[in-house]
Structure 1
Amino acid sequence: MLVRRWLDAAGIKDPVLRECYTVCARAALRERGGVGWVGTLAAPPERRAHAAAMTMVILEADDRVDTGPPEARLRRLDEWIDAWYAALESGGSSDPVLHAAAHACSTVFDSPPRALMEECFAALRRSWEATEFATYEDWQTWATGSSGASAVLIMSTWDALGEAGQVGEGIVRGYGDAFQMVDCLADLSEDLREGQLYLPLEDLDRFGVRREDLEAGRWTAATRELIAFEVARITSGLPALLDSTRQHPWLHRYAPAFDTLTRALCSAVLAAGPSILRCVAVPPTGPMVQAGLGLWRAALAG
């Protein structure tokens, strides 16, 4: 019902397009608290279908890097990227996600979102090649260039970003980077199974944590201190980020929800304890609902 309302608000009447956008919106909303869910709710009603379509292009690309036989992942990513550009060139595709996203680019978005997509594709390739980071600064640099969350949030708030320009985009990217880094902590067990470790090696040395212990799922007091340290370092930057939005009323409406989402995931990482070495840390429903309502209200107010 809600998706139909968003399609009506966007003026999308073609039955094929409506079905393709519906596929995108439902997929984006499926993972509560994930970047697709956040990005879709952050967009104003008349742009939610478009935001969902663009988001799903990124998430489908990410899925190709994260799943399937390792030796085939980069090939599958390249095939998806080629199909994306072909859809842009022709104005459509037999794939519902690409068909809807091509329509979104031709009717709502222009070159900057396309540049964001290229940035995401390049970052996905780097994320496959990067298996560990020596320093915290290396991790931060990777997060800044790899955050699909930033691209999604920028496109979701596209209509309003003109007011704040590059400053506003920088703030949105700040939240995206924070979300990307805490997401690495939440996904620690999955990444370790893929042979990837995003925690800085200098921090492992500082706390006396061995990579082989993490890979074996051995939880120690040192591991607990390491995770708490990384979470604290991420959350320590949130107050200044929130304060920086006060000069931009439209963005300040979104900021509390972005802050709540990031802190909820941080809390889930800490609460997971030893299980974080076995499964993904998932935030509780309450804060997610609170943040979702905050995004919803901010989009309507904007």
Structure 2
Amino acid sequence: MGGLVLVRRWLDVAGVFDPVLRAAYTVACRRALSDRAGVTWLGILSVPSRARPLTAAAAMVILEADARADEGPHEQRLERFEEWVDAWYAALDSGSSAEPILHAAAHAHRVAPVKPTRALMDQAFAAARSDLDFREFPTYADWQVYASGSAGAAMLWTLSMRGEYGESGERIIREYGYMAQLVDCLADVSEDAREGRLYLPLEDLARFGVRREDLEAGRWTSATADLVAFEVARITGRMPAVLEMARAHPWLYPFCSALDEYIRPLCAAVLEAGPSLLRRVAVPPTGPMVRGGMSLWRSAHVTSR
């Protein structure tokens, strides 16, 4: 009930009073806010109240596409994914949809201060589509192309509902996209292996002498430990410089600070998992995530006055 009251307040501040549109936004917001262990929740809290319904609706277009690519019977995933993408572009062109999330998102994109380009949307969808026809990544550079669309484009698209981020902001967001995506790949390595997917760059496995069959069989070796430590250091070693870059941005810094609160504990959880990393998904403690979210909430409240 408390979440519903908050959504109603956001819609009032955003000037959304049409009953059908309010109902559509309510569906989108409640679905997006259920992602309380991920970046979506932080993204919504990082923007002023008037932009939260728009941000939630945009995020749900991407999250639903991802869900259709990752869940359900394998033989139906591509068809369900393409149906959603086609329905989104139809809603964007017409300005409305019978599907609540798409109806809200079409309105959000019509009134957003920055209109995300179709090229950006295509990039986000292409990354999700590649999971349906999965190809491994020979090099880290190849992996970055995937991450740029999977996390980078998705974050850029969603945050465009907040306002102009400029070239420097785009660089910062994509950098955080890389870091968030890489630690997610590490945390989910056991689950992905069961799906027949190996997201870590093959050149990194070769560098440390990690055998694919060991990962798939859940056999932890000293080489695997070295590989995981290397990938985590690749993330944590880059974070201070990127956060410092964000310090000069008008409104991105609080969001990036909260992302640090999300990424660092997850990196620590990956390292602490040890052999269990190949048996179950690594999960960080909730405390840092909640603190980051509350910090964003206070910052967004002040800037929206």
TM-score, normalised with respect to structure 1: 0.92
Which residue in the other structure is 1:204 paired with? 205
CA distance in 2 between partners of 1:201 and 1:89 (Å): 41
Cα offset for 1:22?
1.4
The amino acid that maps onto 1:96 is: P
- Of 48-57 and 191-200, more deviation after overlay is shown by 191-200
Structure 2: 5+ residue stretches without partners: none
Cα offset for 1:113?
5.1
Question: Is the CA contact 1:51–1:152 (under 8 Å) kept in the aligned structure 2?
Answer: no
Question: Is the CA contact 1:154–1:169 (under 8 Å) kept in the aligned structure 2?
Answer: no
Which residue in the other structure is 1:156 paired with? 159
CA distance in 1 between partners of 2:265 and 2:237 (Å): 14
User: Pick from 121, 128, 148: which aligns with 2:132?
Assistant: 128
User: Pick from 86, 92, 96: which aligns with 1:88?
Assistant: 92
Cα offset for 1:109?
5.2
Which residue in the other structure is 1:183 paired with? 184
Cα offset for 1:206?
2.3
Question: Is the CA contact 1:153–1:176 (under 8 Å) kept in the aligned structure 2?
Answer: no
Deviations 1:237-278 (A, max 9, x none): 111101112322422333321222121221222222222222
Cα offset for 1:225?
1.9
Question: Is the CA contact 1:154–1:172 (under 8 Å) kept in the aligned structure 2?
Answer: no
Q: How does 1:224-243 map to 2 (within 5 A)?
A: 224-243=225-244
- Of 117-126 and 51-60, more deviation after overlay is shown by 117-126
Distance 1:64-1:159 versus aligned 2 partners, 3 A rule: closer
Cα offset for 1:215?
0.9
Cα offset for 1:104?
0.8
Cα offset for 1:129?
2.7
Cα offset for 1:61?
0.3
Question: What secondary structure sits across from 1:13 in the alignment?
Answer: coil
Cα offset for 1:45?
0.8
Question: What secondary structure sits across from 2:260 in the alignment?
Answer: helix
Question: Is the CA contact 1:119–1:145 (under 8 Å) kept in the aligned structure 2?
Answer: yes
TM-score, normalised with respect to structure 2: 0.91
CA distance in 2 between partners of 1:117 and 1:135 (Å): 25
- Of 279-288 and 124-133, more deviation after overlay is shown by 124-133
Cα offset for 1:64?
0.9
Q: How does 1:1-302 map to 2 (within 5 A)?
A: 1-108=5-112, 111-112=115-116, 114-147=118-151, 150-152=153-155, 155-156=158-159, 158-162=161-165, 165-302=166-303
Question: Is the CA contact 1:207–1:225 (under 8 Å) kept in the aligned structure 2?
Answer: yes
Question: Is the CA contact 1:39–1:153 (under 8 Å) kept in the aligned structure 2?
Answer: no
Cα offset for 1:198?
0.9
Deviations 1:19-75 (A, max 9, x none): 221111111111223132122112211111111011001000001111122232222
CA distance in 2 between partners of 1:284 and 1:136 (Å): 28
* RMSD value, Cα: 1.9
The amino acid that maps onto 2:236 is: T
Question: What secondary structure sits across from 1:247 in the alignment?
Answer: coil
Question: Is the CA contact 2:35–2:41 (under 8 Å) kept in the aligned structure 1?
Answer: yes
Question: Is the CA contact 1:91–1:99 (under 8 Å) kept in the aligned structure 2?
Answer: yes
Q: Give the length in aligned residue pairs.
A: 299
Question: Is the CA contact 1:161–1:169 (under 8 Å) kept in the aligned structure 2?
Answer: no
Distance 1:171-1:110 versus aligned 2 partners, 3 A rule: closer
Cα offset for 1:286?
0.6
Cα offset for 1:84?
0.6
- Of 60-69 and 268-277, more deviation after overlay is shown by 268-277
Question: Is the CA contact 2:265–2:288 (under 8 Å) kept in the aligned structure 1?
Answer: yes
Cα offset for 1:88?
1.6
CA distance in 1 between partners of 2:113 and 2:122 (Å): 14
Compare the two structures and name the one with the higher helix fraction. 1
